[in-house]
Amino acid sequence: MIDVTSVDGPQSRAAAPAPDGWPVEAVPVYPAPQPDRLTRFVLRLQERSPRWAVPLAALGCVGAGIGYTLMIDPTRSAPDAAPTCLLKLTTGLDCPGCGGTRALWYLLHADLPAAARHHLLLVFALPFLAYLFVAWAGRQAFGWRLPELRISNKLIGVFLAAWLAFSVVRNLPWAPFTVLYV
């Protein structure tokens, strides 16, 4: 290959002619992009931060979400109170996550039947999600090696299909499906 400097643009490489005699188009060679100031700052911050910083930040976000849920009491708010689900506000249908905040509120108050009534799949998935978080955070912060949950792609697909079916069935307007409407 031959390096060619063009008046019009960046350097490009021209290859030898193809076996059939036609020339191959030149492929431009661009310099590798250099990180900007913000990227360099974030990379330096990452190198200097302790191992437990990211799990602590994630735990803070989870704690903020739980605190918000406890503070607003979603079980007593009006259906159109802000913030509201845009899908439910515009169509009247329950979205796949509708009832999740109320289910979390009931779980935090140890009312499992009411939590399951508002979002059964959240109640089912929450122990698994909590274990996955503890295993990840323990490995990141302290080097713990908890037994891993081996979740196959097939199992994830089954769960997502069940979630989709639950989202459709809970919006059907006749009995016995009206029990699932929140």
Predicted confidence (pLDDT) per residue in 48-105, tens digit: 989 899 899 999 999 999 998 888 888 887 766 666 777 877 888 888 888 888 899 9
User: Which contacts of 29-32 are long-range, i.e. CB under 8 A and separated by 24 or more positions?
Assistant: 29/3
Per-residue pLDDT, 161: 93
Angle at 130 between CA 141 and CA 96, to 5 degrees: 130
Domain ranges (residues) in the chain: 1-32, 50-180
pLDDT recorded at residue 111: 94
- Give the model confidence (pLDDT) of 14-39 as tens digits: 555 566 666 667 777 888 888 899 99
Residue of higher predicted confidence among 43 and 87: 43
